[in-house]
Structure 1
Amino acid sequence: MERKIIELDQGWDYMHKGITKLRRILEGLPEPQFSSEEYMMLYTTIYNMCTQKPPHDFSQQLYDKYREAFEEYITSTVLPSLREKHDEFMLRELVKRWANHKVMVRWLSRFFHYLDRYFIARRSLPALNEVGLTCFRDLVYMEVHEKVRDAVIALIDKEREGEQIDRALLKNVLDIFVEIGMGQMDHYEDDFEGAMLQDTGAYYSRKASSWIEEDSCPDYMLKAKCLKKERDRVSHYLHSSSETKLSEKVQHELLVVYANRLLEKEHSGCRALLRDDKVEDLSRMYRLYCKIPKGLDPVASIFKQHITAEGNALVQQVEDAANSQASSSSGAQEQVLIRKIIELHDKYMAYVTDCFQNHTLFHKALKEAFEVFCNKTVTGSSSAELLATFCDNILKKGGSEKLSDEAIEETLEKVVKLLAYISDKDLFAEFYRKKLARRLLFDRSANDDHERSILTKLKQQCGGQFTSKMEGMVTDLTLARENQASFEDYLRNNAAAHPGIDLTVTVLTTGFWPSYKSFDLNLPAEMVKCVEIFKGFYETKTKHRKLTWIYSLGTCHINGKFDKKNIELIVSTYQAAVLLLFNSSDRLSYSEIMAQLNLTHDDLVRLLHSLSCAKYKILSKETNTKTISQSDYFEFNSKFTDK
């Protein structure tokens, strides 16, 4: 049995009734919901009209009428309702109309579904859903989007001023800008976002221009926390793609435009915050400017200038003190300087780690600042020498720095960090080695562990080459003690070889130690015997090493027989050589002493001055002056007392 033909007018009349019912439901008018029978009848009507044989296949005509149904609804109902409303009321109406329109598209797409499956697919036409949304875009959106944009921006500015607004409404409105693009962001970006960003810039430009005049730097930065509120805005109603653009716009107006004026404010800018140790404000400054390209550059520059000025002031204090006081106290002043520089480094390193979150820019600023004043000459001494002397005071017995073991370790660690800023590290090594030599050779080192510890730290900082000689010196001392023990065994086993004097010899490796002058001193007979005996012992151990005697580093304990009592004198080898001459002569001239000992004029003058003109006058001199002359005569001062 053949199916009855449905004519276009007849079929569309039935469809139009269904569409009218849907419109009444959407408008909230009294209308019962679609029953499943009604729905099926509407669907079947379309199906039948599309599957009739030509010329009764009305697919194209129905496709066109589908669009016309939307256009008629929009022009007769939607646009008039929008045109009579303004501002927030218009926004609410738009949200309602968009929601209704999407429902209408969904229902009509179902009624006309057969078109989507066959007719549209074969002809590559826009799908029903797309046609429905395009109608709204072309007829509604294109007419109202500018008014909508302005109304939304006005509400955003109200919220910025502290007023409560309906955020959910804004979210729904802005979703329309996104959804109308059907997968593209063009409408959101071109029709809303650009103008919103422009308004944001203008808004914060006005705010910043008054804040910069009225507020201190910390107060201004507190107000700049509105950046967070702008990010909050994004999470509540703007599209997530706006976050970076919005932040950059606000940052530019608040922080970039007025960066110099803000940071350089006389009583509250970056310099003042550093001067007054305003750690929280500095941290806030860092957090605000770290997000801006090159934003931290001026902050780091001021940080560097501030530290440089503080360091230079410390150096100047020592210079001024040295010029105004007796020179004897300048050494102590210089040691205080190193301690203060360490404290300065501790303080600003804490700023770098805490306020500036270890940012490389601030590490660099700190380094460059310290390099300025750590390489200055202070009261005629290089910083390399001062640092070596500071270490010496910590490590030697009776040094001026009285510290616990833990504090010593901590201080040594800090000294090595300071060394990183000294350009001539080799000069430091030279001074350090000389002082280390004196500590080791004269038994002045307070603690072997600390000596090794600082060498380990120096090695880590400057490399193995830097410390190899120093490590060699420490090892030499250990070997020298073993060598001395062997020598004592040798003497015990060779009684005939014993010189009758207690003799301790420290054998060192030339390459490790600072260079010392070696003079051909004519030793007294007692000492010559000692030297020969030790040579004999040493040759039993090795034939390939040559011993060079450094008399200037030796000490002697000699017994002085004075009128009142015998006194043990601890003197240098040279002083002992002079004094022993008086065992066989009561009185000797300057030239006789010089000839017998084979010394230079300079050395002999120094030596005789120490024995006859200094605090302890072991020799009496004729003439009785405070200087040594080549015409002077010397005698053993038998009246000397140790009081």
Structure 2
Amino acid sequence: MPPTRPDNSPSHLHHPTTAATDPTGSLLPKRRPRVDSNPPGPVSLVAPDSKRSRTASASMAARTQGKQPETVDLTGPSAPFGSGPTGAAGGRRVFLPGTAAPSAFTPLSGAKKLVIKNLRVPAKRNDDTQSYYTKTWSDLESALADIFANKTPRQPLERLYRGVEDLCIQGQSEQLCKKLQTQCEAHMTNTVLKRIETNTRGVSNIDVLREVHKEWLVWGKQLVIIRSTFSYLDRAYLIGARSLPNVNDMLISRFRRTIFDTFVTPPGTPPPLYSALGLKVLTGMCDLAEQDRLGDPTFDANLFRESISMVHIFNIYVSYFEPLFLEKSTKYLQDTAHEAESITDLRNYIQTAESLLRREVTRCNAFNFDSSTKTLLLKAAQHELIVARQHKLLDQTSVAKLLDDNDSASMKALYDLQHMATLHKKLLVPWGKYIEHTGSGIVMDVKRGDEMVVRLLLLRRNLDVVVRDAFSRDENFTYAMREAFGHFINDSKVTSAWSSSASKVGEMIAKYIDILLRGGLKNLPPSLLSDRKDRADAERSGQASTGDEDAELDRQLDQGIELFRFIHGKDVFEAFYKRDLARRLLLGRSASEDAERNMLGKLKTECGSSLTHNLEQMFRDQELSRDEMASYKQWVDGTGHKNSASDSHEDEKRRAALKVELQVSVLSAAAWPTYTETKLCLPPDVLYQIDMFDSYYKNKHSGRKLTWMHSLGQCMVRARFNKGVKELLVSSYQAVVLVLFNDVEAEQPDKQVLSYKQLSQATGLEDVDLNRTLQSLACGKVRVLSKHPKGRDVSDTDTFTVNKTFTDPKNRIKINQIQHKETKAENTATYERVAADRQFETQAAIVRIMKSRKTLPHAQLVAEVITQTKSRGALDPAEIKKNIEKLIEKDYIDREDGNYVYIA
């Protein structure tokens, strides 16, 4: 309740009413409903005049008879409760809005319309009323002065609020608003601005910002009190005045104009964008950002954050702060990029640029910068650090160094920087050049030819890891890598470096796959094996985990097929793979038959059945040979080789020969590689077994001829040493040499010495084969023979004895390393066979084309021949022309009018 005042002062009980005059004619102010947190309780108003009560009763009766709802005047004489149609006394109880009231509906008389008017008689304005408003003005001015001085107003805030309300109700809202604006403006100009100017003389921009922010915090507290006190002015007047802001916005705008729009300019000149004080404040904010960038320990993060919020509240962030901040930030970025470019290499520059961009993003997020500022700042940073430094980021030498070091982290940062500026495709140029240069160096390195495929696979593996981890599996880089591999593998410079007529890479890939299929994964470097991410990818794709040995071997075979896919001339690969497969099958060197058939399936998928037809026949021959040997053994066991009472000398030889277990592989000459037949003097028991099988086979298959390839044979020999008996797995040549020492022991038990010449005569081997055989037995890792004199080379003056002191922890020992080492002559012969086959294929292609086209010019014929034979290897047009001439000599084609014509 308000304080007590004279009876003729305005009442603070609010009721919905219009302006009215009392009996004396005085005017009361118009009032609006007031929102009160404690609404008054039910007030019962009873009319004091019984005559008016009767009038009301009559009106209600008329309403019940179908007329318009009656109007009940409750300001007339009252009627007793219960009278009239609704009660015995006919009285009425009226409840004000907001109070609990009974329903207006009655069963007998229906709803009633009650109108309340002239509820309160206004009092006459007199001198006491005028003095009240005068005093209210004075109290408000005094309260504002106390608020500006950070003091508690002398009048209670509730009374001040009521005073504002009364002035607004009286119609003085406009004057009140102007007086509030004038007093606030005077305080800001005469007090706040002068205090700031006094406290900031000779200080830094950051100190000016700190002082302004301090004043803003004080003004914010004062603003809350003023806004609350004048809140009725907001609701009663300013809410409908579109040209005027509310009290809160007006006070904020007043502070902003004082700091940023106080100009001192000559008359007639346009004002600058902001005042000198405002420039210092904004510059101080930029200086704080500079301190944060430089890692200054005096950086005040809270001041910077609050300053950003302050300019947001002032609504000058975009128009004032953002342009100045971006201008200074761009200058900083230019200086930093220039400094980083001049003193660091690419790796350090990438780290510097990445760190700088990350810090700028973090700063924008931490201090509530607008998204527009963040976007523009990053755009400027990208231009200065990335776009303007393309020559640095795409330097071929620098990128190659990162790739040589397998620095996936730096390559990822480089890719992300380029991708951020949508320039990542420009990285394809140094990427492709690096692959071609590095790959060409590998395939043309003649001294390290045996390591060619492993080095290529390591290069491919490292590049795959870069694409996976650094380039986010970007298909553009995978495609560029494949193009580069295909280019350097089939480059004509490679064949020139190796002095070969066909691709050397095809030969090396075939040998690499041979190593895999013979020894599995143990011969591979660990860096080629799958890592954790590869195993996870395999499991997600539904494949077997590459941690499994069989799955890992399958993956390594796939890597070999990937290289094989790049080769244009696949005939060299076919020739060497066929030869190595034959050796693995004949000597039992395959680590896994399943892996062999798996590889055969991969080749068939890649090249079709034309390449794998002979390879499949080799497997079928092995199966047929096993069946043939089973039939032969049954024949031996069931024929006349039984013991009898009268054994002749021949029967003794037969029984001795049968102690040797013979295993023969019968091969189709067309499917298997071509081997040179060599002369070898076999032991009598072995020779007897061979003759017996030869007779059996020829009787069973008439018209067939067997050619024995002793160079491909192998034997299991039991040898007795001082430390025990060992089983030696050796070749046919080695076995023949070792058996000769048995005959010497039988003749000269105390002296088991054989000279080189004796061994040569007894075995019938050529010097090259005998030298390699003796070297493997006496000079290798497993020395079952002793050479005199000692040394690694064998000469025709050396002598050999059995090494009785030989020891080895294993019972079965394999001796075949030197024997099967490929000679240069064998390699050359393979290439010659490939070249000859290629000539035949070229001639066959020419005949097929001419048979279908009948007549063709030279250029078109050469083009079609290249198209048909490119899968077997790249052909030189000069070679094609030579084959055309050969076919002309053989009368397959002829020349007519400058064209080639097919002769039927």
- Is residue 517–residue 592 contact of structure 2 (8 Å, CA) maintained in 1? no
Q: SS where residue 201 of structure 1 aligns?
A: helix
Q: Is 1:533 paired with 2:700? A: yes
- Is residue 42–residue 111 contact of structure 1 (8 Å, CA) maintained in 2? yes
Question: Could you say which residue in structure 2 is the equivalent of 1:370?
Answer: 485
Identity, % of aligned positions: 17
Question: Could you say which residue in structure 1 is the equivalent of 2:156?
Answer: 38
1:80 to 189, 194, 203: 194
- Is residue 221–residue 284 contact of structure 1 (8 Å, CA) maintained in 2? no
Q: SS where residue 304 of structure 2 aligns?
A: helix
Question: How many aligned positions are there?
Answer: 511
How is 1:574-593 mapped onto 2 (pairs within 5 angstroms)?
none
Counterpart of 1:427 in structure 2: which amino acid?
K
> How far apart, in 2, do the equivalents of 1:61 and 1:462 lie?
95
1:447 to 559, 568, 591: 591
> How far apart, in 2, do the equivalents of 1:45 and 1:256 lie?
66
> How far apart, in 2, do the equivalents of 1:23 and 1:119 lie?
24
2:326 to 197, 203, 206: 197
Q: Is 1:108 paired with 2:226? A: yes
- Is residue 174–residue 238 contact of structure 1 (8 Å, CA) maintained in 2? yes
CA distances 1:161-211 after superposition (whole Å, capped 9, x unpaired): 564333332322222121223xxxxx3233112221222222332343344
Change (3 A) 1:393 1:160: closer
Question: Could you say which residue in structure 1 is the equivalent of 2:383?
Answer: 252
How many Å apart are 1:549 and its aligned residue? 7.5
Q: Is 1:149 paired with 2:282? A: yes
Q: Is 1:270 paired with 2:399? A: yes
Question: Could you say which residue in structure 2 is the equivalent of 1:434?
Answer: 578
Change (3 A) 1:337 1:287: closer
The structure where helix makes up a greater share of residues is 1
Question: Could you say which residue in structure 2 is the equivalent of 1:174?
Answer: 308
Question: Could you say which residue in structure 1 is the equivalent of 2:894?
Answer: none
CA distances 1:215-271 after superposition (whole Å, capped 9, x unpaired): 4445545654444443454355462634443344234323432231465397xx334
CA distances 1:301-349 after superposition (whole Å, capped 9, x unpaired): 334423322221222222xx6xxxxxxxxxxx64332233234344555
CA distances 1:127-165 after superposition (whole Å, capped 9, x unpaired): 432333233344544444444223332444455456433
Q: SS where residue 258 of structure 1 aligns?
A: helix
Q: Is 1:387 paired with 2:503? A: no
Change (3 A) 1:103 1:615: closer
Change (3 A) 1:62 1:474: farther
Question: Could you say which residue in structure 1 is the equivalent of 2:49?
Answer: none
CA RMSD of aligned residues (A): 5.2
Question: Could you say which residue in structure 1 is the equivalent of 2:451?
Answer: 336
> How far apart, in 2, do the equivalents of 1:552 and 1:404 lie?
38
> How far apart, in 2, do the equivalents of 1:256 and 1:405 lie?
41
Change (3 A) 1:534 1:176: same
Q: Is 1:234 paired with 2:364? A: yes
- Is residue 270–residue 282 contact of structure 1 (8 Å, CA) maintained in 2? no
- Shifted more, 376-385 versus 16-25: the winner is 376-385
CA distances 1:270-299 after superposition (whole Å, capped 9, x unpaired): 344555x38498458537735632455555
Question: Could you say which residue in structure 1 is the equivalent of 2:558?
Answer: 416
- Is residue 578–residue 672 contact of structure 2 (8 Å, CA) maintained in 1? yes
Q: Is 1:307 paired with 2:435? A: yes
> How far apart, in 1, do the equivalents of 2:732 and 2:8 lie?
140
> How far apart, in 1, do the equivalents of 2:475 and 2:370 lie?
31
Change (3 A) 1:615 1:436: closer
Q: SS where residue 446 of structure 1 aligns?
A: coil
- Shifted more, 230-239 versus 386-395: the winner is 230-239
> How far apart, in 2, do the equivalents of 1:108 and 1:274 lie?
68
> How far apart, in 2, do the equivalents of 1:176 and 1:204 lie?
26
Change (3 A) 1:142 1:553: farther
CA distances 1:466-510 after superposition (whole Å, capped 9, x unpaired): 9986996687467546744774588589869xxx998967699x9
CA distances 1:30-76 after superposition (whole Å, capped 9, x unpaired): x3x358x701111111223334xxxx233444344444443333233
How is 1:60-79 mapped onto 2 (pairs within 5 angstroms)?
60-79=174-193
- Shifted more, 168-177 versus 361-370: the winner is 361-370
Change (3 A) 1:403 1:525: closer
CA distances 1:502-533 after superposition (whole Å, capped 9, x unpaired): 8967699x9xx7899xxxxxxx9996973673
> How far apart, in 2, do the equivalents of 1:466 and 1:65 lie?
103
Change (3 A) 1:350 1:552: farther
- Shifted more, 250-259 versus 114-123: the winner is 114-123
Q: Is 1:289 paired with 2:417? A: yes
Change (3 A) 1:469 1:62: farther
- Is residue 136–residue 163 contact of structure 2 (8 Å, CA) maintained in 1? yes
- Shifted more, 474-483 versus 204-213: the winner is 474-483
Question: Could you say which residue in structure 2 is the equivalent of 1:575?
Answer: none
> How far apart, in 2, do the equivalents of 1:22 and 1:288 lie?
57
> How far apart, in 1, do the equivalents of 2:567 and 2:292 lie?
61
- Is residue 435–residue 485 contact of structure 2 (8 Å, CA) maintained in 1? yes
- Is residue 587–residue 712 contact of structure 2 (8 Å, CA) maintained in 1? no
How many Å apart are 1:367 and its aligned residue? 3.9
Change (3 A) 1:206 1:402: closer
- Shifted more, 444-453 versus 8-17: the winner is 444-453
Q: SS where residue 171 of structure 2 aligns?
A: coil
> How far apart, in 1, do the equivalents of 2:712 and 2:415 lie?
69
> How far apart, in 1, do the equivalents of 2:610 and 2:211 lie?
81
Counterpart of 2:252 in structure 1: which amino acid?
L
Larger Rg: 2
- Is residue 307–residue 370 contact of structure 1 (8 Å, CA) maintained in 2? yes
2:216 to 79, 83, 98: 98
Q: TM-score, normalised by structure 1?
A: 0.63
> How far apart, in 1, do the equivalents of 2:317 and 2:157 lie?
36
CA distances 1:353-397 after superposition (whole Å, capped 9, x unpaired): 667676666555544443333334543232234312332245359
Counterpart of 1:135 in structure 2: which amino acid?
R
Q: Is 1:317 paired with 2:459? A: no
Change (3 A) 1:449 1:507: closer
1:130 to 242, 245, 249: 249
> How far apart, in 2, do the equivalents of 1:166 and 1:525 lie?
103
- Is residue 153–residue 199 contact of structure 1 (8 Å, CA) maintained in 2? yes
